[in-house]
Amino acid sequence: MAADLNTMCYFATPCHSWERGLNEHANGLIRQYLPKSTNLRMVTDEQIQEIQDRLNNRPRKVLKYRTPNEVFFAGISSGFTVALHC
């Protein structure tokens, strides 16, 4: 897959959360809305969408205080294209 996408793959060591800093940070942001004790079967699609919208419209220092949505849509409008593979 890495060769097909002309990219490098990285696999973190299990139980080494410090190797996945961005992932752990995102989990922390989500936990502000959904504590660990939350029964995810009781969370509606609408609630998930609301959390997603709030996080994607939250200014980030790493993005020079722009929101992820601002950065993403600025890239799209400037001709940047994204290919998603599942």
For 37-46, the CB contacts below 8 A with 24+ separation are none
Domain assignment present for residue 67? The answer is no
Domain assignment present for residue 75? The answer is no
Domain assignment present for residue 72? The answer is no
Domain assignment present for residue 43? The answer is yes
More confidently predicted of 64 and 1: 64
Count of the separate structural domains present in the chain: 1
What is the pLDDT, as a whole number, of residue 81? 62
Distances (CA, A) of 4 to 59, 78, 83: 34, 25, 12
Residue 1: pLDDT over 90: no
What is the pLDDT, as a whole number, of residue 31? 95
What is the pLDDT, as a whole number, of residue 83? 56
Domain assignment present for residue 27? The answer is yes
Domain assignment present for residue 51? The answer is yes
Domain assignment present for residue 68? The answer is no
Residues of the domain holding 49: 2-58
Q: Give the phi and the psi of residue 10 in degrees, each rounded to 5.
A: -130, 130
Domain assignment present for residue 76? The answer is no
Tens digits of residue pLDDT in 16-69: 877 878 888 889 999 999 999 999 999 999 999 999 999 999 999 989 999 999
DSSP per position, 25-58: HHHHHHHTTS-TT--GGG--HHHHHHHHHHHHTS
